[in-house]
Amino acid sequence: MAIGNLRHRVTIQSPSRSADGGGGSVVTWANVATVFASIEPTGGNERFFGDQNEGLVTHKIMMRFRRDVTHKNRISYARTVDGTTYTQIFNIKRVMNEGSRDFFLHLLVEEGVAT
């Protein structure tokens, strides 16, 4: 892959749990690193969940190899168009080390809020 294809600046985030004072816990996301990656949509579908239709969009994200990226992390991508910032959240479903050579990671992700 040519380095010019890694043109999206994304943030890798990891979860942390903290007590909410009522006996439960709250998940907050902390930024781990900001890296360059390529983001390509691969498809989408709809499902019926919680008495409503939910759209599901899948993507493939490729970045340079990192050992600290797992399916527990998520990817945040923010872009600004005409002065308005749009943020996409990608939940990682699969992490693949291309050719087991520690050069690139392929992430299969779903866009949206975790369910």
pLDDT average per 10 residues of sequence, the chain (115 residues): 84 91 88 96 74 77 95 95 94 92 93 64
Sign of the torsion formed by the C-alpha atoms of 64, 68, 71 and 74: negative
Q: Which residue has the tokens 């579908």?
A: 45
Rounded CA Rg of the chain? 16
pLDDT at 55: 67
Q: What is the reported pLDDT for 72? A: 95
What pLDDT, on the 0 to 100 scale, is given for residue 37? 97
Give pTM, 2 decimals.
Answer: 0.82
Q: Can you list the positions of beta strands (E) in 1-115? A: 8-19, 25-49, 52-64, 74-81, 84-97, 104-111
Cα 55 from Cα 81, distance rounded (Å)? 23
Single out the residue of 59, 35, 73, 64 nearest to residue 108, CA to CA.
Answer: 59
Residue 85 has what pLDDT?
A: 94
**DSSP summary character for residue 94:** E
Q: In whole angstroms, what is the distance from residue 28 CA to residue 14 CA?
A: 8
